Amino acid sequence: MVRNIDSADEVVDAAVAAGEAVRLDGVSFEVSDNRVPLRAAREIAFRDARARAVQYAKLAGRQLGIPLEISEQSFTPPTPVYGAAGIADKASISPGRRDVSVSVRVVYELE
């Protein structure tokens, strides 16, 4: 695991230079501390779930009550890394963007 993106190219170059003694299966990125984006994603997902529930309750001629059940699934899709052939910059591994998403299921009481 390499935590410093600036040294990632050197690590890959060293692995390739080692020949068959070292096997490089690919490069992937992960968010080292995803607490902040997950917290924001939860807030957005919960507000959206509540807004939808309010709309459904109104359509049913009812009032939205208290949440009875809340469950979450969080998912951070893998980000593929492609070769940088033809890029003028020497670095072939560079930081990008990661999406963090949360799916929330909220069951509300209807009044």
Q: What is the pLDDT of residues 44-97, one digit of tens each?
A: 999 999 999 999 999 999 999 999 999 998 666 665 544 444 444 455 676 777
Residue in 13, 18, 28, 9 with CA at minimum distance from that of residue 90: 9
Q: Which residue has the higher pLDDT, 29 or 104?
A: 104
Give percent of the chain with pLDDT exceeding 70: 82
Residue where the block lists tokens 């069951």: 107
pTM of the model: 0.62
Instruction: Parse the chain into domains and list their residue ranges.
Output: 5-110
65, containing H or E segment: strand 64-75
* Residue 59, amino acid: L
Give the residue-averaged pLDDT of 9-24: 80
Burial of 6 (C-beta count, 10 Å sphere; 0-12/13-18/19+): exposed
